[in-house]
Amino acid sequence: MNQQDLIRQLREANGTKIVMLVADGLGGLPIEPGGPTELEEARTPHLDRLAAEGTVGLSIPVAHGIAPGSGPGHLGLFGFDPLRHQIGRGVLEALGIGVEVGPRDVAIRGNFCTIDGEGRVTDRRAGRIPTEVGETLVAKLADGVQIDGVETLVEAVREYRLVVRFRGDDLGDRVADTDPLQTGLHTLEPKALEPGSEKTARVAAEFLRQAKEILKDEQPANFLMMRGFAKFPDISTMEEVYGLRSAAIAVYPMYRGLAKLVGMTVVEPGRTIADQFEVAREQWDNFDFFFIHYKYTDSTGEDGDFARKVDVIQALDAELPRLLELKPDVLVVTGDHSTPSRMKSHSFHPVPLLISAPATVRPDEVTTFGERPCMKGGLGQILAKDIMPLAMAHAGRLQKFGA
């Protein structure tokens, strides 16, 4: 019996409310040896109070030493083993903007980028072009790319992001990304990782060949990279596993796609974290579980902006009273992975984790929320997939196991 089968057997309904607040890329590192991390540097009186009243620890998104993408990171938080449920980012991005992904489809996440005259990448995000510029470029691709025997769809997401969908027969999704992951290198050719995906690799290569010609005179977005080739997976829903009516309050499309993948109802989030907390208040009676996603702790880390990441952590903390007024029975605060601004990327480091559950929590001796305090917390280091069973238990939603 696996963990989800056990939860299905033991779950029971009641009126308790669970909130999972995910500060994307929350974990960080000191800039200088012995210095504070971004979370430790930030002034977070509300998170510190929750840490003092609750219990803290560290979450391991996938496994020790593994730096996860956002998809595996979130699936773990939702209680789905990311090593068992490997889901490409393309499907998540597509679902997040309402693009249908059927059995004959492969969905791909695209990033507009900037290349020089030699074809080397000089900016992997094309200067974070405005969304309206991305939409114009996507329209040119949609009108210009034609591939025999395959239906192509291209849709804008936000800023430099787009979705490409191939529809046709015999399309596999085991194709390597074309992003070299650093500047100064050429983009990679799409490479099939198994024989059943060779057609997809050929189609992707032809798409990129035509796209380079269409975009060659554009600046700064004069090419694109493909990531996360994916078909729709076979996966259970939150209600099937946990018996929870679940809502997702997420601004960015990919995280809305993740939520849809596991059967959450995606509600319109507004634009700010204050808006998201207000939406939670408006929807409070309609759902048992609320996933609230905060992006900016990740994007500032990827930009290498330590001070800005501190600022957005403080901004999140300043708005927390709006959420706390709802008095959730269980509040989980964590991230899907660490994004230290020192590294400018997702990292393998465990993520700070806080559980507030006034009726059931066993407080530890930690009084502040940060990486060093969390190392000493009562939760210890746990796999992300074990957070949901803990939340269910604190919410009184699990019966006793065995006689």
pLDDT digits 0-9 by tens, 49-79: 999 999 999 999 999 999 998 889 999 999 9
Statement to judge: residues 204 and 240 lie in one domain: no
DSSP state of 169: S
For residue 122, give every residue at least 6 positions away whose Cβ sits within 8 Å of its Cβ, in sequence order, or none.
114, 115, 116, 183, 184
For residue 25, give every residue at least 6 positions away whose Cβ sits within 8 Å of its Cβ, in sequence order, or none.
297, 298, 299, 301, 302, 335, 336, 337, 338, 339, 346
Task: Say if 70 falls within a structural domain.
Answer: yes
- Nearest-10 Cα torsion for 34, 40, 43, 45: -130
Task: Say if 37 falls within a structural domain.
Answer: yes
Total number of domains in the chain: 2
Statement to judge: residues 214 and 111 lie in one domain: yes
Task: Say if 146 falls within a structural domain.
Answer: yes
Statement to judge: residues 245 and 376 lie in one domain: yes
Statement to judge: residues 243 and 353 lie in one domain: yes
> Of 230, 247, 279, at which residue does a domain stop?
230
Q: How confident is the model at residue 261 (pLDDT cuts 50, 70, 90)?
A: confident
Positive/negative CA dihedral, 292, 258, 59, 363:
positive
Distance separating alpha carbons of residues 382 and 195, to the nearest angstrom: 37
CA 317 from centre of chain = 20
Average pLDDT over residues 179-187: 95
Position 283 scores a pLDDT of 98
Position 103 scores a pLDDT of 87
Q: How confident is the model at residue 364 (pLDDT cuts 50, 70, 90)?
A: very high
> Of 230, 257, 292, at which residue does a domain stop?
230
| Residue-number span of the structural domain to which 134 is assigned | 92-230
Using CA atoms, how far residue 218 sits from 136, 152, 162, 182, 215, in Å, is 11, 22, 16, 21, 5
Statement to judge: residues 21 and 155 lie in one domain: no
Range with lowest mean pLDDT among 135-144, 196-205, 220-229, 250-259: 250-259
Q: Is the pLDDT of residue 99 over 80?
A: yes
Q: Are 8 and 340 in contact (CB under 8 A)?
A: no
304/253: higher pLDDT: 304
Task: Say if 399 falls within a structural domain.
Answer: no
Statement to judge: residues 256 and 390 lie in one domain: yes
Position 111 scores a pLDDT of 95
Statement to judge: residues 139 and 165 lie in one domain: yes
Statement to judge: residues 389 and 243 lie in one domain: yes
Task: Kindly report, residue by residue over 14-53, the tens digit of the pLDDT.
Answer: 999 999 999 999 999 999 999 999 999 999 999 999 999 9
Task: Say if 159 falls within a structural domain.
Answer: yes
Task: Say if 403 falls within a structural domain.
Answer: no
CATH of the domain at 262: 3.40.720.10
Task: Kindly report, residue by residue over 286-301, the tens digit of the pLDDT.
Answer: 999 999 999 999 999 9
Q: Are 384 and 59 in contact (CB under 8 A)?
A: yes
Q: Is the pLDDT of residue 315 over 90?
A: yes
Statement to judge: residues 7 and 154 lie in one domain: no
- Note if the bond before 220 is cis, omega within 30 degrees: yes
Statement to judge: residues 146 and 65 lie in one domain: no
Position 51 scores a pLDDT of 98
Average pLDDT over residues 88-103: 86
> Of 230, 245, 267, at which residue does a domain stop?
230
Average pLDDT over residues 334-345: 97
Task: Say if 402 falls within a structural domain.
Answer: no
Position 128 scores a pLDDT of 93
Task: Say if 401 falls within a structural domain.
Answer: no
Statement to judge: residues 109 and 241 lie in one domain: no
Average pLDDT over residues 92-104: 87
**Percentage of the chain lying above the pLDDT 90 cut:** 90
27/88: higher pLDDT: 27
Statement to judge: residues 53 and 127 lie in one domain: no
